[in-house]
Structure 1
Amino acid sequence: MDRLECIKSMVTKCHTTADIGTDHGYVAEMLLNENICEKVIATDLNKGPLDRAIKHLTSVNLHEKCDFRLGSGLTVLKENEADAIIIAGMGGELIADIIEASKNIALKASQLILQPMTTGDKLRQYLKENGFKIIDENIVKELHHYYFVIKAVPGEDEITDEIFYEISKIILEKKDPLMFEYLHKILNVNENIIRSIEKNNSSDYNERAEALKMKNEKIRELMKN
């Protein structure tokens, strides 16, 4: 399953989906073609991508089911206007900033589908600390990159260990083979950093090496369980 397919598959059937940063409008097309929603509010910060989405969705005769809006993040939405909100293809911290800037709107949606390109740990922590609960998560691989797709709803979440900001507990529990592949990659990256740190032999560096060793131990423990 590719990244966009995974995003689409995690949207629960609803009336209106807001696709924030729609780019070409491919996710909007998938959602409408499969009757997952009846209407898409396709938004983008920049005119170029929004024009591309308008052109593409017009070419596949779906433009009448779309409302195209130019603007930043969730500021183009009203409260209760979208049942599902998709924010994909940007950094985790930027996604958190977008939610924070219009938190009243995000908290009124029944589902958020979020796909961070980087810093998924920061996004998971933000959600936990700001009234959102992660109810599902998947991992996909495209070329050599691993991507996480997070589904969150308004609610309280419990985190038993801070490692679960970095490593999705939900995907671990699914025993997804891709997750184990991803964790092996993380272990190797950390081992390489530890080796290069130990060559430098300064006390600051040693502290960092120890922290990474402890993290690797924790990851191996999680993989075993």
Structure 2
Amino acid sequence: MELSRRLQAIADEVSKGSAIADIGTDHGYVPIYLYKKNQITKGIAMDIGKGPIERAQNNIKAYGAADVIETRQSDGVSKLKVGEVDTLIIAGMGGLLICKILERRPDILLTIDRLILQPQRDEEILRHFLHASGFRIIKEQILKEEGHFYVIITAIPGKEQYKHNVEYLFGKLLIDEKNPILKEYISYKLEEYDKILHNLSNQKTPRAEERKIEVQQERGMYKEALQWFLLEYN
């Protein structure tokens, strides 16, 4: 089985011998891949939708993985039992939704050794949540696939706080390593903000003026991040 670059990067973060729950599993590809690689001792493929669960069940059966991987229709981790798994994978959802899924079950979080998260947006909110919930971020990745940027966060239990808001906004580890894909993403966003400001320049409505201020503030944070790379942006 060959995974997309995004799913491969997620799967690579799972430690050998782990018991995992894949939340929002869809086709069940990540648990199946990990089973085929003898990387997991147990897998629970979970999804809120009946259709995704049925697809996952068919794929699990086709790959002969039913002795290790089970499916469970569940809203987030609501049907996960304490101590069943040591690793949670939540990918392809907004960061705010991931936070809500996790905060509903603090009893589950207390027993988790590793979180592997791929938020589609609101990464800043998710990083704050992880620190407030007693997790420290040990690895961040950003990759570009088919024109889209994806951030993958790996966290384990521990105390940690960042000193600067820009580190929560873009990821301290990505900034510290001067990740070239992050630099590309920030530059892309700055260009997008410039286009928005140009389009707003001829609009004089109160809402347009409010939006200009919002965009300028957001653009300022992205420009500050570029300065952490010791680059100039004109």
How high is the TM-score relative to the length of structure 2? 0.88
Cα displacement string for residues 54-107 of structure 1 (whole angstroms, at most 9, x for unaligned residues): 100110111111122121111211222111110111111111100011122023
Change (3 A) 1:219 1:195: farther
In the superposition, relative to structure 1, how do residues 212 and 68 fare at CA in structure 2: closer, same or farther (>3 Å)? closer
> Per the alignment, do residues 71 and 36 of structure 1 end up closer, same or farther by CA in structure 2, a change over 3 Å counting?
same
* Alignment gaps of 5+ in structure 2: none
- Corresponding residue number in structure 2 for 1:127: 130
**1:130-184: per-residue Cα shift (whole Å, max 9, x none)?**
2221111101212111011111122222111111222112122233321221111
Given candidates 66, 75, 80, the residue that maps to 1:77 is 80
Residues 1:65 and 1:136: Cα distance change in structure 2 (over 3 Å) = same
Instruction: Report sequence identity in percent.
Output: 33
Aligned to 2:117: 114
Q: By percentage of residues, which structure has more helix?
A: 1
The one-letter code matched in structure 2 to 1:223 is F
Pick the aligned partner of 2:164 from 161, 164, 172: 161
Please tell me the residue identity of whatever aligns with 2:110.
L
Preserved CA contact (<8 Å) 1:20 1:88: yes
- Report matched runs for 1:23-42 at 5 Å: 23-42=26-45
Structure 1 counterpart of 2:60:
57
Q: Could you say which residue in structure 2 is the equivalent of 1:222?
A: 228
Written as runs of structure 1 = structure 2, the 5 A alignment for 1:163-202 is 163-200=166-203
Residues 45 and 71 of structure 2 are in contact (CA less than 8 Å); yes or no, is this contact kept in structure 1? yes
In the aligned structure 2, how far is the partner of 1:206 from the partner of 1:115? 30
User: By how many angstroms is 1:197 displaced?
Assistant: 4.1
Partners of 2:60 and 2:179 lie apart in 1 by 34
Residue 198 of structure 1: how far off its partner (Å):
4.1
Correspondence 1:1-40 to 2 at 5 A: 2-40=5-43
TM-score (norm: length of structure 1): 0.91
**Cα distance, 1:217 vs structure 2:** 3.3
Asked whether 1:146 is paired with 2:122, we answer no
After TM superposition, give the deviation of residue 5 of structure 1 in Å: 0.2
SS where residue 76 of structure 1 aligns? coil
> Hey, what's the Cα distance between the residues in 2 that align with 1:50 and 1:69?
7
Q: 2: CA distance between counterparts of 1:25 and 1:39? A: 13
- Say if 1:44 and 1:217 are closer, same or farther in 2 by CA, change over 3 A: closer
1:218 to partner: Cα distance: 0.6
Distance 2:29 2:97 in 1: 21
- Identify if the C-alpha distance between structure 1 residues 219 and 58 changes in structure 2 by more than 3 Å, giving closer, same or farther: same
For structure 1, the residue ranges without an aligned partner over 5 or more in a row are none
The structural deviation recorded for 1:205 is: 4.8
1:5-61 CA deviation, whole Å, 9 max, x = no partner?
A: 010011122331111111101001111112221110111112211111110011011
Would you say how many aligned residue pairs link Structure 1 and Structure 2? 225
Give the Cα separation in 1 of the matches to 2:224 and 2:27: 41
